[in-house]
Amino acid sequence: MSRIDNEIAHGKKLASGGAEEIWNWSSPAGQKRADRRANYFIELAKVKQGNKVLEIGCGTGLFTQKFFDATQAEITAIDISQDLLDEAKKNLPQVNFKKDDAMNLSFADETFDVVFGSSILHHLDFEPALKEIFRVMKKGGRMIFAEPNMLNPQIFVQKNIPFIKKWLGDSPDETAIVRWSFRRKMEKQGFTAVKIFPYDFLHPSTPEFLIPLVQGTGKVVEKIPVLNEIAGSVIIYGEK
């Protein structure tokens, strides 16, 4: 099957099996991680009244909801999976949900002030996805994504050993981000003010009583060069 076919099948499976649990956002630690990730999106987006926002890979709308609640922005949210879009539409009538291909977007050039997404770029071919994101961004626009970090030991194993990848429910084509090489791809495409940094040592399976300790320790480790490179996620930011 093609990459798109694989992702549509993956979306159908997620929609029928409790996507937030599969994505590890529903546990107490997962909810803390989601809130922190959303705060990064909102802080870096710098949304102003009247801004147009595109969310790529909205899934069931978890981060769409958080972004909308904080900004009241005019959001268009896309996904390749109609099954996931149907779930998202149930809770957010204020958002324009649309089935679309992130590597071949249907929008006109320079449509959006902000493009954001959570754990979606690693499902895509990087070059065509970045080309399309750059194309639909207005001059002065911002892109903000959070993605799995390939240098995290668990993620490295999960993305590179096929039977573990399948066992953990990944789609066949997904990978993770190596921040230095991804930065080069962004700069080659024309993005400026590029920042990609590792963060997040709070594992979603952390028991609730340990969350404050793990969060506090993790935020310290995030500031330590070399050690911080094995964090679970990276934040990706760029401007046009």
β partners of residue 146: 118, 235
The per-residue pLDDT of the chain, averaged, comes to 91
Q: Do β-strands 74-79 and 52-56 pair in parallel, antiparallel, or remain unpaired?
A: parallel
Q: Tell me what pLDDT residue 162 has.
A: 87
Q: What percent of the chain has pLDDT over 90?
A: 79
Half-sphere exposure of 227 (CA within 13 A, CB side): 9
Task: Report pLDDT digits (tens) over 149-184.
Answer: 999 999 999 999 888 888 877 888 889 999 999 999
Q: What percent of the chain has pLDDT over 70?
A: 91
Distance CA 76, CA 95 (A): 6
The 10 Å CB-count burial string (b at 16+, else e) for 135-174 is bbbeeebbbbbbbbbbbbeebeebbeeeeebeeeebbebb
Contacts of 18 (CB under 8 A, 6+ apart): 26
Distance CA 236, CA 59 (A): 19
**Amino acid, single-letter form, for residue 64:** T
Domains and CATH numbers, the chain: 3-239 (3.40.50.150)
Q: How confident is the model at residue 13 (pLDDT cuts 50, 70, 90)?
A: low
Q: Tell me what pLDDT residue 23 has.
A: 58
CB 59 within 8 A of CB 88: yes
Task: Report pLDDT digits (tens) over 112-132.
Answer: 999 999 999 999 999 999 999
Distance CA 27, CA 47 (A): 29
Distance CA 186, CA 85 (A): 28
Task: Report pLDDT digits (tens) over 68-93.
Answer: 999 999 999 999 999 999 989 988 98
Q: Look up residue 50 and give its two tokens.
A: 């009247």
Given CA atoms 179, 217, 21, 75 in this order, what sign does their dihedral have? negative
57: left (phi > 0), else alpha (psi -120 to 50), else beta?
left
Cα angle value 2/146/85 (rounded, 5°)? 55
Q: What's the chain's length in residues? A: 240
Q: Look up residue 62 and give its two tokens.
A: 């978890």
Q: Tell me what pLDDT residue 10 has.
A: 56
Distance CA 125, CA 132 (A): 11
Q: How many CB atoms lie within 10 A of CB 83?
A: 18
